[in-house]
């Protein structure tokens, strides 16, 4: 039964993959808007027919995960349920721009360059512990039949596409790495804030997980 579910999920993806040729923005994004041009853009890139066919050929290698695996394998490390304390940032390093960061996992892959597209997960907090956005979400159907956790988001690392602190934090990482960054207002949304969720002059804390370099979506 599990194998049938796996093959059905991938077969359905093949039959509809043409619908994914153009990037599609995910509706779950809480504060993404065209007026917030520096907000991290949460869009799914194209799923190619070739990759979909490849997944069918390797469907027997997919593992069906328990319902709580998305949290265990995904965003549990980025959970923070209370206000941040100054002591939590005591061992952070500081860059020339003023960005503070701590590598939880160093990573052993390549390091992205400016102008490249990366795929990464993230969670963003205010200092009072309020989670204003996260990419750690359950997978949408039919991906949910293969894995409960959703795919990482695509970001293009170029000036003007992201807030400066987010971009700098990503550029200093290696694939496979996990990093926490403390973003001063001047490297974030500054005096204007972002909608009703990020007040003006708000420091931000991001948990970043760099999965890959390149925009192609893969289940591997």
- Active-site positions read 122, 132-133, 163, 189, 206
Q: What whole-number distance in Å separates Cα of residue 106 and Cα of residue 50?
A: 33
Q: What whole-number distance in Å separates Cα of residue 68 and Cα of residue 65?
A: 8
Q: What whole-number distance in Å separates Cα of residue 52 and Cα of residue 94?
A: 43
Q: What whole-number distance in Å separates Cα of residue 218 and Cα of residue 46?
A: 10
**If you write DSSP's letter for every residue of 46-91 in order, what string do you get?**
---HHHHHHHHHTGGG-----TTHHHHHTGGGG---S---GGGGTT
Cis amide leading into 11 (omega within 30): no
Both structure tokens of 166: 């987010």
Handedness of CA 140, 137, 35, 160 (dihedral sign): negative
Handedness of CA 152, 93, 186, 112 (dihedral sign): negative
């Amino acid at each position: 039964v599990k194998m049938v579910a796996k093959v059905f999920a991938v077969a359905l993806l093949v039959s509809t993959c043409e619908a994914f040729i153009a990037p599609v923005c995910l509706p779950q994004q809480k504060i993404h808007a065209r007026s917030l041009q520096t907000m991290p853009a949460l869009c799914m890139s194209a799923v190619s027919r070739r990759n979909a066919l490849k997944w069918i050929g390797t469907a027997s290698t997919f593992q069906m995960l328990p319902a709580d695996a998305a949290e265990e394998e995904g965003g549990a490390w980025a959970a923070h349920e209370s206000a941040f304390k100054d002591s939590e940032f005591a061992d952070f390093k500081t860059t020339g721009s003023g960005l503070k960061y701590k590598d939880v996992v160093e990573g052993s892959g390549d390091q992205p360059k400016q102008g490249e597209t990366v795929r990464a997960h993230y969670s963003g907090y205010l200092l009072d512990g309020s989670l204003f956005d996260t990419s750690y979400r359950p997978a949408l159907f039919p991906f949910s039949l293969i894995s409960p956790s959703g795919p990482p988001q695509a970001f293009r690392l170029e000036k003007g596409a992201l807030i400066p602190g987010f971009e700098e934090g990503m550029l200093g990482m290696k694939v496979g790495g996990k990093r926490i960054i403390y973003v001063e207002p001047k490297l974030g949304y500054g005096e204007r804030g972002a909608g009703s969720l990020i007040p003006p002059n708000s420091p931000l804390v991001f948990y970043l997980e760099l999965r890959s370099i390149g925009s192609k979506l893969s289940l591997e």
